[in-house]
Amino acid sequence: MTFDLPRMETARDAAKAAGAVLGAVADGDLTPTEGAHIMALVETYRRTLETTELESRLAALEGGRT
């Protein structure tokens, strides 16, 4: 199976990726099981991006202190 996801650089980009997965399932390009597996990967990556983004924002608010 080959499936192209939109590039994910921010947590917001994960919404576009999720939409692409849902569209592929709806079009029959992916099975629901394949879609669920890919969505799990997207969600894990989204959480990683979100955590990294929040960490950067917190560091900026704290004046760069860690």
**How many other C-beta atoms can be found within 10 angstroms of the C-beta atom of residue 57?**
10
What pLDDT does residue 63 have? 87
Instruction: Tokens for 5, please give them.
Output: 């996801």
What pLDDT does residue 64 have? 63
What pLDDT does residue 66 have? 54
pLDDT tens, per residue, the chain with 66 residues:
677 888 888 888 999 999 999 999 999 999 999 999 999 999 999 999 889 889 989 999 998 665
pTM equals 0.77
* Buried/exposed 18-47: b ≥16 CB within 10 Å, e otherwise: bebbeebbeeeebeeeebeebbeebeebbe
